[in-house]
C-alpha cells in the first residue's frame, strides 16, 4: 500500500489536496500532519474537524519549544529580512522536519504540501524533504490550480470547507509573528483596515518600562522574573502588543523574484531584537559590531530561505556564539507610541567608561586631550591632497582653453 503524508491545515488548499493525491497521484492512503508552532487553538479544531470529515488519519506534533528556541537564536543574530523579524520563514523548516519524522515513522513513500508555485514556502518545505528518499508532491503547483478552481472542486465534491474561502485575508500565525496578506491587501495603494490586526492595539499615549535580562545573548527574564522561551515570547506578545508595538507593512521581495505586499505583527520579536541590539552596542567593540552586521545579514538571508541548517549557518553561528559570551546584562525598554525603545542598558562586560566619555573630565585615562591634536592634523589629509590636485588640474584646463581660443564664441 502506498501512503503519503500531507502538511495539513484543514484549509481549502490542503483539503482539496486529499482527494487529488488519491485520484491524480494514485496514493492508497493519505495522512494529515499538523505542526504546532503557536497557532490559535481554533486552527487545530478546524484541522481536526476537517480531517474527521474526510476520514483522514490526523497527527498533531507540538514543536513550540523547538521553534521558540530557534526564535531566540535569531535574536542573537539580530535576524530580520527587509526590516521585519523572521517568523513564517523560521517556522517552515521546523514544520517540515516534524512532518518528515511522522512520514518516516508511518512508512510513507511520499510527502506533500499545498503551496503554490509563486511563494517561498514551497522552497522551504522541500529544502528539508528532498534530503530524504520520499517522493515530494505539490498538487497545487504541479496541477496549476487556482483558488477559484479549488472552490468549485470543493463544492462539487462536497468537501468540508467553509464555502471554500477561509475569509478575506490569508493569515499565517506562529508565536513569533502573524502575517496577513491577500485580497485587497495585494494593492500597494490600499490602506489596511484596523481589523486586520489582532496582536497589536492602536498606539496610544500610555507608556510602560520593562527590564529584560540577557545571558550570553539569550533573553531569560522580564523584570527579574525568569521565563522559558515559549512563555517569554507569549507574555511579551501580549504586553508589547497592548502598546501597538510590532507592526510592519512592507513590499517584500520573494526568493522567486516576485514583489508582494505583506503585513506583519511581531510585538515580542520587535521588543527582544531592539533590546538585544542595544546591549550589543554596549559590550561589543566597534570592529565586532561592524563585522557582525555582515554575519547577521548572512544568517538572516539563510533563515529567510529556510536553509537554517546549511554549513554556512553553522560557521556564522561560531562567530555569533563567540561574541555573545559577553552579551549578558539588562536593557530597559520603554513602550510608547507603538515603539519598543531601549532607554537604559547595563552589563559587567561594558566596553564603556562613563568617566572617560564625560565632558567633565580632562583626560581619558592616561591620554590627554591635547594628544588628539596630531590625529586631528592627519584626519582628512588624503582628502585635502586629492581636492587640491582636482582643483589645480581644473585651473590648468581653463588656462589651456583660454590660450587656444576654443572657448571663444564665433558667429
pLDDT in tens, 90-147: 999 999 999 999 999 999 999 999 999 999 999 999 999 999 999 999 999 999 999 8
pLDDT at 165 over 50: no
CA atoms of 333 and 324, how far apart (whole Å): 20
**% pLDDT > 90, the chain:** 85
CATH number at residue 115: 3.40.50.620
Classify strands 259-265 and 80-81 as parallel, antiparallel or unpaired: unpaired
Q: Could you count the other beta carbons within 10 Å of the beta carbon of residue 34?
A: 24
| 406 falls within a domain | no
The SS3 call for residue 358 is: coil
Say if residue 15 carries a ligand binding annotation.
yes
Residue in the structure block whose three cell numbers are 515513522: 105
Q: pLDDT tens-digit profile of 42-63?
A: 999 999 999 999 999 999 999 9
Residues 78 and 59 in one domain: yes
Catalytic center residues: 13, 92, 121, 170
CA atoms of 393 and 17, how far apart (whole Å): 73
329 is written with which cell numbers? 546584562
Contact 214, 330 (CB under 8 A): yes
Say if residue 300 carries a ligand binding annotation.
no
In the listed set 148, 169, 190, which residue is the last one of a domain according to the structure?
169
| 374 falls within a domain | no
CA atoms of 279 and 267, how far apart (whole Å): 19
In the listed set 107, 142, 169, which residue is the last one of a domain according to the structure?
169
Say if residue 12 carries a ligand binding annotation.
yes
Residues 141 and 67 in one domain: yes
Q: pLDDT tens-digit profile of 227-273?
A: 999 999 999 999 999 999 999 999 999 999 999 999 999 999 999 99
In this prediction the pTM is 0.91
Give residue 347's domain range.
171-353
Residues 229 and 252 in one domain: yes
Amino acid at each position: 500500500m502506498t501512503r503519503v503524508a500531507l502538511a495539513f491545515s484543514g484549509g481549502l488548499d490542503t483539503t482539496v489536496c486529499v482527494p487529488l493525491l488519491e485520484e491524480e497521484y494514485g496514493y492508497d492512503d493519505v495522512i494529515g500532519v499538523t505542526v504546532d508552532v503557536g497557532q490559535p487553538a481554533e486552527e487545530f479544531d478546524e484541522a481536526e474537524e476537517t480531517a474527521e470529515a474526510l476520514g483522514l488519519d490526523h497527527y498533531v506534533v507540538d514543536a513550540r519549544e523547538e521553534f521558540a528556541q530557534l526564535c531566540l537564536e535569531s535574536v542573537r543574530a539580530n535576524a530580520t529580512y527587509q526590516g521585519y523579524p523572521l517568523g513564517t520563514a523560521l517556522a517552515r523548516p521546523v514544520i517540515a522536519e516534524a512532518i518528515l519524522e511522522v512520514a518516516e515513522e508511518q512508512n510513507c513513500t511520499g510527502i506533500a504540501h499545498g503551496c503554490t508555485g509563486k511563494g517561498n514556502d514551497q522552497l522551504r518545505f522541500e529544502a528539508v524533504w528532498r534530503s530524504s528518499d520520499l517522493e515530494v508532491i505539490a498538487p497545487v503547483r504541479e496541477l496549476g490550480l487556482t483558488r477559484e478552481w479549488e472552490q468549485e472542486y470543493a463544492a462539487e465534491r462536497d468537501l468540508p470547507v467553509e464555502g471554500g474561502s477561509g475569509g478575506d485575508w490569508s493569515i499565517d500565525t506562529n508565536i513569533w509573528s502573524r502575517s496577513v496578506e491577500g485580497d485587497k491587501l495585494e494593492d500597494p495603494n490600499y490602506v489596511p483596515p484596523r481589523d486586520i490586526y489582532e496582536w497589536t492595539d492602536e498606539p496610544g499615549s500610555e507608556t510602560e518600562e520593562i527590564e529584560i535580562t540577557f545571558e550570553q545573548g539569550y533573553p531569560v527574564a522580564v523584570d527579574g522574573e525568569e521565563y522559558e522561551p515559549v512563555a517569554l515570547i507569549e507574555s511579551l506578545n501580549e504586553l508589547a502588543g497592548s502598546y501597538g508595538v510590532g507592526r510592519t507593512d512592507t513590499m517584500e521581495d520573494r526568493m522567486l523574484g516576485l514583489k508582494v505586499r505583506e503585513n506583519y505583527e511581531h510585538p515580542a520579536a520587535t521588543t527582544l531584537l531592539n533590546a538585544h541590539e542595544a546591549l550589543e552596542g554596549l559590550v561589543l567593540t566597534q570592529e565586532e559590531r561592524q563585522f557582525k552586521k555582515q554575519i547577521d545579514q548572512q544568517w538572516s538571508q539563510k533563515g529567510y530561505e529556510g536553509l537554517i541548517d546549511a554549513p554556512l549557518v553553522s560557521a556564522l553561528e561560531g562567530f555569533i556564539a563567540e561574541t555573545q559570551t559577553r552579551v549578558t546584562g539588562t536593557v530597559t525598554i520603554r513602550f510608547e507610541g507603538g515603539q519598543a525603545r531601549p532607554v537604559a542598558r547595563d552589563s559587567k562586560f561594558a566596553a564603556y567608561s562613563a568617566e572617560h566619555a564625560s565632558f567633565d573630565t580632562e583626560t581619558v585615562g592616561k591620554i590627554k586631550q591635547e594628544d588628539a591634536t596630531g590625529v586631528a592634523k592627519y584626519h582628512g589629509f588624503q582628502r585635502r591632497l586629492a581636492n587640491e590636485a582636482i582643483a589645480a588640474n581644473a585651473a590648468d584646463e581653463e588656462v589651456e582653453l583660454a590660450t587656444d581660443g576654443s572657448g571663444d564664441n564665433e558667429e
